Every structure is written in C-alpha cells, then in structure tokens.
Structure 1
Amino acid sequence: MKTQPPSKSQAPVLIINTVGFTMLKHVQRFTLAMVSIVAAACVYDAPVTPKDNSITAATTSNSPSLQVTASTATSGIAGRYLVVYRPGGAASSDVSAALRSSGGALEGAYDKLGFAVVSGLSPERAARLGQLSGVSSVEPDVEFAIDPVRPAEQLETGDVDIQSVAAPQGAFFYGFQWSLRAIAADAAWAGGSLGSPDVSVAILDTGIDYRLPDLAGLVDLNRSISLRPDEDARLADAVSNGWFPAGLHPITDLNAHGTLVASLVASKASLFAGVTSRTTLFGVKVCIVFNTCSTAAILNGIVYAVDQGADVINMSLGGAFLKKLNPGFVSVINRVFNYANRNGTVIVVAAGNEAARMDAFANAYFAYCDAPHVLCVSATGPNAVVGGQVRNPDTFASYSNFGRSVSVAAPGGGLTPSLLSFIIGQCSQTALAWHQDAPPSPGAPPPPPVIDGPACQPPPGFISIVAAVGTSFSSPHVAGVVALVIANGQTQPSQIRRIVERTSDDLGAKGKDPFFGSGRVNAARAVGAIP
C-alpha cells in the first residue's frame, strides 16, 4: 500500500522531548519517527530581531561583533598554500621547478589567472617559494566552517517508488516543504518550468550522494570531482571497514550538507522536491566531513567548474578574513569570479550566519558576498508554527548576515522549536558520524576528530532525514531559480542576475535594502509564469 504525501489539511503533529530530538508523527499517514533538530546557524547573543517583514534599522553599535580570525576563519590544510604571481611574472613552470627541489606538489596551476595552489610545504619552504622573482605572495590556506547538518533517526515511508519529475508537488514529503511554496516554485512548475538537462549547476560542497532516488541520474559523474585528497582517504577507509560498497565515486558525500544543498536545486521528487526536476548537477568536493572547506580548493573548484561548462555555481559556504592578512586571496578571488562571469557562469553564494552587518567591518573580506558578479543570498524563515502550519515564512532570519552586498533573500529556515520551520531532506547514505574530544588541558589544541561510523543507514522501508537552518540552504533555492531562468532562454550572467533581482518580491523597506536585497526570490515571476 502506497502512502500519500501529507497535504496542508493533514497537519503533522510535533512533540519535542528533552533529549534534543523532535518526534514527527503524521496522525493519519506515518508511524513514529525521530528527527534531529539542527542548530545549523552560528547565532550571536544579539541578533537582529525583526517582526514579520518589517526590519528595525540596525546600526553598527547594535550589530554583533565579528571575531574574524577566531570565529570564521581557521588555518587550512597543513602545508597547502596559495601562490600569487606578479603581473607578467612567474608561471606554473617556475613554481613546478621550485617545488621539485622542495618536495611539494602542484595541486592547481592557472597561469592565465596568475595563481597556483601548492601543497606539502613547510612554512620555511613556502617562504623560500615566495622569494621567486615572479611571485607576489605565498599565503597559507584558509578554511571556513559550513552549517552543520546532523543526521536524523529513521522515518518510515513504506513503499515509495513513484517519481514526480513532471509534477514535483507529488513528492512524498512535499507537504513539509514550505520553502518551495514560499518562492512560488509550484506556480513555476504549473507554468511548465521544470528545468532542462542542458543547464548544469555545479555544487561546490561536501559532495553529493548521487545514489539517492531523488538524485539518481541527475548528477553528471563524468564532470564531478573531488579536490580533497584527505577526504578521498576517509572514503577509502570507510569502504575498507565494510561500511560502504566498493566502487563509489570520489564525489560521495560523507557529510550530508552537499546532498541537502544539491537536492534543493534539483530533485526527481520521489521523496522531496527541488526547485527544478530536470537540471543537471555535478559535484565539486571542496569541503570535508568535519564541516570545513578549503579556500584554495574552492578557488580551484570554481575554475574547474567554469572550464567544465557550468551555467551556475552554488556556493553554500564561506566566511570572513582580514584583508591585510590575506591580500593574495582577495586578489585571486576577484580574478576567479571575474573569470567566471566572462565565461558565462552565474555564481550564487550564501551570505553567512553570523547575524552581522557586513558593511560594519571595513577591514574584513566576506567571502564570497564581497566578490564581484555574485548573487549574495540572505535568509528568510517562519517565525512561528501554529497548528502544524508555518507562519510568516518571509520573516528575515535572525542568524543571517546582511548589508549592501545582499542581492536577494530566500528561505533558509526559522529558529522555532518546531521542525516544520526547518529545511529538511534525505540524509546522505554515506554520511559519517564523528566526534572531537575536549583539549587535554586549558589552552591546548583539541585532538583530531574521530570517525565513529555510518550515520544514516536505516532498515528497509525507512529513510534517514536531516533538518537544517542557515543561509547555506537559502543559496540553492536561488541557484535553482537561476537554472530555471537559463532554461527559459536567458544566457548572459548580468541579465540573469537582473531578472532574478527584478522579479523578487519586495519585502521590508521599499526598494533594495540591506536585509532582503531586492526581495525574496519568486521562481514563477522569474520565468514569466505569473505577472
């Protein structure tokens, strides 16, 4: 017997227990399930607290302080560096020659953009590399944290084998996907906009579980790549431990973040719908199971995705660093994003979750909202759940960063006690559970994280789901809308960005504002399905 998807009239019942889980039970359709609530946003004690769509003007004095070097950026992979060339100076051949004598490795070389990524160097050898006449700077890699996505317990689905590619609202759990209705994705689908396999979106993230029913066949494995050899080694260990089958693609997601992001962009809509159902995805793994992403790998990944013909790049990652400490990164980021724009790729980035007014930190570079030619996305989400229904889904999210660089807003989830205000999706089947012990003594560094084993391997007839909140999940809503606009015939990045901004629903102060930008995106209006 097949179970029907929950409808608006079939309101689910949510019960919060005392151990940090949410128990989800549909009174007519499901058996009991356990779903973990995720504190996915890094929220300060003094976030912006808007009421509904109205924003009380925030000033520098009442915005939270941002500890750039401590809270948002950390040292990257040991021995990995970004090498920035002087104009008309060094080339990869010069760097390669220097590396041969120092024992390092060239991970990526982009002479046309004036930089390279190297690894396996001690600080002393990196300093010697910086003395080459054609080298402007050699800077250590920087890692940023992503919104943690914690695996859930099992949810019984019964025999679900129907895909809803032509009618995504038929997805089993569509009744819980308020975020898609908030951006009028259903109206876009009704107008015939379901995406096109000729449009490709690169997901720069932790990878993608391409074997999930909602994603099977949508992910181009030939173009997918891992740029994290450390994560490749963890996958190999997991296979050798017997946790996962042999032969998995390196893009396999050991975290779950990238899988949730990817399925929001595009899904075959068996269990959960995405903004599109026919868009081609490919994964570029730049982040790891421990919720961190390498800036050097990200820059490598953007150039790779552009060269592979990506129409859109989604970047649900980023952070902030001090410009004076990383001038080479600022220079290369600008070069790389300009390169993407020249080659016809639209980049969508998450605004971040520090509840910070980005304009207030003149010495900080917010990656990647401060980069050129991006759609920077802030977050909206319900401020309450009443009777199983979300309320005010267009409320500005208290955790979201804001400022002049915000282009548009999109649903990222609300911080209410109810799971229904979160963004939910199926967990990666290859997600790993891990822990990190406390430092052995005050002031000492913590020991390395320890992998505990598989996190999401439910019995037959069940799935594991994740629930999350953050601008990480706002960004793929916009990337999906961009993919629909491109499938609708638009090709110029600047024109596509203008369409997305112009067709958004104006919220907050009239016109563009620092919280919602031009407004919350409207998929149906962006493709002309509604006026």
Structure 2
Amino acid sequence: MGAGVSSSEIPHIDDFSIDSAADSAPTMHLVTLSGKCDEIAFSDAIDALNAANASVVFFHEETGIAVVKGLDDDAAKQEARDSECISDIDDDESFLLDVDTSTSESTLMENDGVMSPTDPASSYWYDAFQWNMRTIKADKAWEAGRFGSDSVTVAVLDTGIDYENPDLAGLVDLDKSASFVPLDDVYSQYYFPWKHPITDLHYHGTHVANTIVGNGWSVAGVTSNIKLIGVKVCSAVEGSCPFSSVIAGVLHAVDVEADVINMSLGGSFQKANGNGKIAGYINKVFNYVNRNKSVVVVAAGNDNTDLDHNGNQYNSYCDTPNTMCVSASDINDQATDYTNYGNSAIDVAAPGGSSEGSIYAVCSQTSLVIAACRAGWYVIGLAGSSMAAPHVAGLAALVVEDVGNKPAQVKNTIRNSADDLGDNGNDPYFGRGRINVAAALGLE
C-alpha cells in the first residue's frame, strides 16, 4: 500500500475525513545536491538516506533538487548532511489548498450526451451558466474555428484530473502525467486501483482542467482540442499543496515539454525565520522554467491582499519570477471582493465568479470530498482566483499555437489585447485588463 499508511487505517469512502487521514502523511524533505556531487558521492548520500529508511521520491539532475520521503531519523539525517554531495536538507512546508470562496452544485439532468467539441456553445449548460466564456469572447474564437491544437500542451498542477469524465475524455496525456503526492497515491490505489494516480480525489483540479479545455458535453472550455498534462501536487487527503510536491511538479512539467503550466494554488509564508530558503528554491526552479520557455499562469489568491505591500510576506506564486499573475473578476466585470491585487503583481484579470454568478465546470467522479460527484455526471459552480487562472491558461495555449514557444510574446499578446477595465493600462485589480480571447487572436 506504500509508505505512511496501511489499508486498515484508510477510512471507508463514505466516512472519509481529511482531518483523520492527514496524520498518516509521510514526512517530506527537500534536498539540494552540491556541485561536488560525483557518482560515488551521490551513491554515498543515497546509502545514508536508505539507512534512515528514507526514499527519493523525485530527483532533478539539472537543478540538483531532490524530494525525499521518510527522512525522520536525526542521526541519519546528519550523516546525509555530512556527505560532500549534499549541501542542504530542508523541512518541507505545506500550504492549504486555496479552496474557493463559494460552491454550489447542479445535476446534469436530461443531458442528451451529444459531444460538441466543434460547437462548444451548444454544450448542455452553456446558455444557462457560462457567462464567463461570453465575457471573455471565447465564443467569437469558436465561431472563427479556433479550438486549439492538439500539439499544444497545458500542464495542470493541482489535485489531479478526472480524465475519464465525458467532458475530458481523450484530452489528457497520461504518459506525461504524474503524481507527486505519496499519501494520495495510497488512497487512489485503495479506492480506484484501475485508475492512473492523477485521478482527482478532490474536485478542484478537474474543475480547473475543464475550464481550460472540454469536449463540450456539459460545459464549454476555452478550448476543445489542446492536450492536458495532469500533475498532481495538491492533496485531497491533507487538503494542502506541499511545497516539495509543487517544486517537483513544476520541474516535471517543464521536462515533459509543457507549453503552458497552470497553477491555481497558493502559498503564503514569512520570508524570514528560515523560510527564505523556500524563496530560494522557487527562484531557482522558475528561472529553469523560463530558460525552457514554458508559460506559467498563476492565481493571484483569495485573501484580498495588496501584493505590492506585503512586506516580508510571500503571497501566492505572483511573487515568483517569470509567471503571469491572474486576478478574479465577476459577472459584472468588477473586481471580486476576495481577489488579491497590486499594480506590480497583477498581469490581467479573468472571470473568477462570485455569489452573483459562479464558474461552472465538471466535478470529479473519483472525489472523496463531495460524495454526490461520485454518483453521476455533475457540474459544480465555484468562485475564486483559482477559477480565473485557467481562462488565461486556455488563451495562452491558443496564442502559443500562433507565435510558438515564446513566453514573453505570449504574455504581451494577452496583456496588450485585454479589455481595460481600470486605470488606463495598469490597474491594481485588473492589471492590463480582463482578457479578451477574440482580440488576442486578432479576430476583432
């Protein structure tokens, strides 16, 4: 069953509780290899880790970053630190999944099951619920035949994807997909042993994925023909996004050549008090991303915080170099009352929803969190900057199709084509404006 939990400790699916399950999570550490790490020194370091009953979950040779599970013995940890191959061993941090500000459910009743990938506007719930796609003029792109290219990939770093859902079936490249959440892998294997480990035990990742792309059965995605790469970095079991998982997930997404990376997740910590090392990992990893020409789209966060004046606080991944930070707007094209903001932080806004109108997408049929979603084909309405970011990721995939893997050009195209809703060109809540798909593609 894997390290950290036995089958006898796993609650029945109907009794699943994040609080009761989280105690079973294995200890994770980030390990940085030094420049002196030749093959022999690395072997010695691995021996030291093995002596502590630890195991390497992920190792990235080019950046020298490893994620290690179960390194709990202090003596063995010190022995590993003494190796000339290892320069740092750092405790992992765990950030709560930036769960949405409001939810509502709607059953897909009387759906005739007709797929409409070349006519997303005919999907079952489009007219009733999808104000967001009309607001960003995605419908104008569909009318012009712009559905995306299956040669363009978007990595979704999240809680996983329900890849067999009719709205997502055939759209996820499972060969490139991976999970970096060991505890969730145990639960996935226990409840859904026939599924790929990225199957979504929550609902968040599936919702995000379906906003980017969909087959047009129940709802429309921004695109209908691009390919997704599922990268599980957030845990339904723990209700969090471990920093080690995110770092491994980003590096994996780059190395499988994702054109766009969507990160609808957050993380807030004090840069002082030892956590400056986390910022160091982030800078190193995202500079690697930039060198390899992936476009990274991140959610601004839901704390109503001014990201320009957050002092020693690191908020979300908008403080990260070489990312595109997205704030959330509502059905009236106003800033939501929860979105983070900041003149220098926000690039653009996109629909994130509010109590006046949620963002609808499908719910995972392998969810351990919402029991109803396992019973049938459901869409779920959510609100949060997590919902805003995938609109931009879907648009970025369309722009990549036009200009190629040129992150700066992709970002400038999206920014320069946005509808200005604020202070003439750079507003703390909207950045350069709320995205306009048709304008970005030269259709208006």
TM over 0.5: yes
- Where 1:472 maps in the other structure, the secondary structure is helix
The C-alpha deviation readout for 1:324-359, integer Å capped at 9, x for no partner, is 222322112111111112112111011111111122
1:92–1:110 Cα contact (<8 Å) kept: no
Structure 1 residue 298 displacement after superposition? 0.9
Q: Does 1:237 align with 2:197?
A: no
Aligned to 1:112: 62
In 2 relative to 1, CA 233–75 (structure 1 residues): closer, same or farther, beyond 3 Å? closer
For residues 150-299 of structure 1, the aligned pairs below 5 Å read 155-175=107-127, 176-239=129-192, 246-290=193-237, 291-299=239-247
In 2 relative to 1, CA 153–360 (structure 1 residues): closer, same or farther, beyond 3 Å? closer
- Where 1:198 maps in the other structure, the secondary structure is coil
Q: Distance in 1 between matches of 2:94 and 2:300?
A: 16
2:304–2:341 Cα contact (<8 Å) kept: yes
Q: Does 1:427 align with 2:363?
A: yes
Q: Does 1:528 align with 2:439?
A: no
1:259–1:427 Cα contact (<8 Å) kept: yes
Aligned to 1:302: 250
In 2 relative to 1, CA 184–153 (structure 1 residues): closer, same or farther, beyond 3 Å? closer
Aligned residue pairs total 415
Structure 1 residue 123 displacement after superposition? 6.4
TM-score under structure 2 length normalisation: 0.88
In 2 relative to 1, CA 94–180 (structure 1 residues): closer, same or farther, beyond 3 Å? farther
Of all paired residues, the percent bearing the same amino acid is 41
The C-alpha deviation readout for 1:27-68, integer Å capped at 9, x for no partner, is xxxxxxxxxxxxxxxxxxxxxxxxxxxxxxxxxxxxxxxxxx
In 2 relative to 1, CA 527–92 (structure 1 residues): closer, same or farther, beyond 3 Å? farther
Structure 1 residue 367 displacement after superposition? 3.5
1:424–1:467 Cα contact (<8 Å) kept: yes
1:400–1:471 Cα contact (<8 Å) kept: yes
In 2 relative to 1, CA 148–318 (structure 1 residues): closer, same or farther, beyond 3 Å? closer
Q: Does 1:341 align with 2:341?
A: no
Q: Distance in 2 between matches of 1:424 and 1:154?
A: 9
Equivalent residue letter for 1:370: D
Structure 1 residue 169 displacement after superposition? 0.8
Q: Does 1:400 align with 2:400?
A: no
Structure 1 residue 428 displacement after superposition? 0.7
Equivalent residue letter for 2:168: L
Q: Distance in 1 between matches of 2:131 and 2:205?
A: 20
Q: Which runs of 5+ in 2 are unaligned?
A: 1-21
Q: Distance in 2 between matches of 1:200 and 1:259?
A: 16
Aligned to 2:310: 361
1:500–1:521 Cα contact (<8 Å) kept: yes
Equivalent residue letter for 1:254: L
Aligned residue among 322, 326, 330 for 1:373: 322
1:139–1:326 Cα contact (<8 Å) kept: no
Q: Distance in 2 between matches of 1:187 and 1:92?
A: 55
Q: Distance in 1 between matches of 2:44 and 2:337?
A: 49
Equivalent residue letter for 2:188: L
Structure 1 residue 77 displacement after superposition? 5.1
The C-alpha deviation readout for 1:426-479, integer Å capped at 9, x for no partner, is 211111138xxxxxxxxxxxxxxxxxxx442336xxx32212111111110000
Q: Distance in 2 between matches of 1:92 and 1:275?
A: 46
Aligned to 1:139: 90
Q: Distance in 2 between matches of 1:369 and 1:127?
A: 35
Q: Distance in 1 between matches of 2:289 and 2:54?
A: 28
Aligned to 1:61: none
Aligned to 1:24: none
The C-alpha deviation readout for 1:154-173, integer Å capped at 9, x for no partner, is 62521422111112111111
The C-alpha deviation readout for 1:190-215, integer Å capped at 9, x for no partner, is 22211010000011111111111110
In 2 relative to 1, CA 156–311 (structure 1 residues): closer, same or farther, beyond 3 Å? closer
Q: Distance in 2 between matches of 1:128 and 1:501?
A: 50
Q: Distance in 1 between matches of 2:109 and 2:200?
A: 23
Aligned to 2:430: 516
2:106–2:380 Cα contact (<8 Å) kept: no
Q: Distance in 2 between matches of 1:401 and 1:270?
A: 33
Once structures 1 and 2 are overlaid, which stretch shifts more, 81-90 or 162-171?
Answer: 81-90
For residues 35-54 of structure 1, the aligned pairs below 5 Å read none
Aligned residue among 245, 269, 272 for 1:321: 269
Aligned to 2:412: 498
In 2 relative to 1, CA 347–77 (structure 1 residues): closer, same or farther, beyond 3 Å? farther
Q: Distance in 2 between matches of 1:131 and 1:189?
A: 59
2:52–2:73 Cα contact (<8 Å) kept: no
Q: Which runs of 5+ in 1 are unaligned?
A: 1-73, 240-245, 383-391, 435-453
- Where 1:433 maps in the other structure, the secondary structure is coil
In 2 relative to 1, CA 102–521 (structure 1 residues): closer, same or farther, beyond 3 Å? same
Aligned to 1:473: 387
Structure 1 residue 120 displacement after superposition? 0.5
Once structures 1 and 2 are overlaid, which stretch shifts more, 253-262 or 405-414?
Answer: 405-414
Q: Distance in 2 between matches of 1:111 and 1:314?
A: 24
CA RMSD of aligned residues (A): 2.3
TM-score under structure 1 length normalisation: 0.74
Q: Distance in 2 between matches of 1:494 and 1:303?
A: 20
Higher Cα Rg, which structure: 1
Q: Distance in 2 between matches of 1:135 and 1:330?
A: 19
Aligned to 2:350: 410
In 2 relative to 1, CA 131–512 (structure 1 residues): closer, same or farther, beyond 3 Å? farther
- Where 1:282 maps in the other structure, the secondary structure is strand
- Where 1:83 maps in the other structure, the secondary structure is strand
Structure 1 residue 303 displacement after superposition? 0.9
Structure 1 residue 317 displacement after superposition? 0.4
1:350–1:471 Cα contact (<8 Å) kept: yes
In 2 relative to 1, CA 234–455 (structure 1 residues): closer, same or farther, beyond 3 Å? farther
Structure 1 residue 372 displacement after superposition? 1.1
Structure 1 residue 139 displacement after superposition? 1.7
Q: Which of the pair is proportionally richer in helix?
A: 2
Q: Distance in 2 between matches of 1:151 and 1:362?
A: 32
The C-alpha deviation readout for 1:109-149, integer Å capped at 9, x for no partner, is 22321321111012624455344445443221111222436
Q: Distance in 2 between matches of 1:470 and 1:94?
A: 47
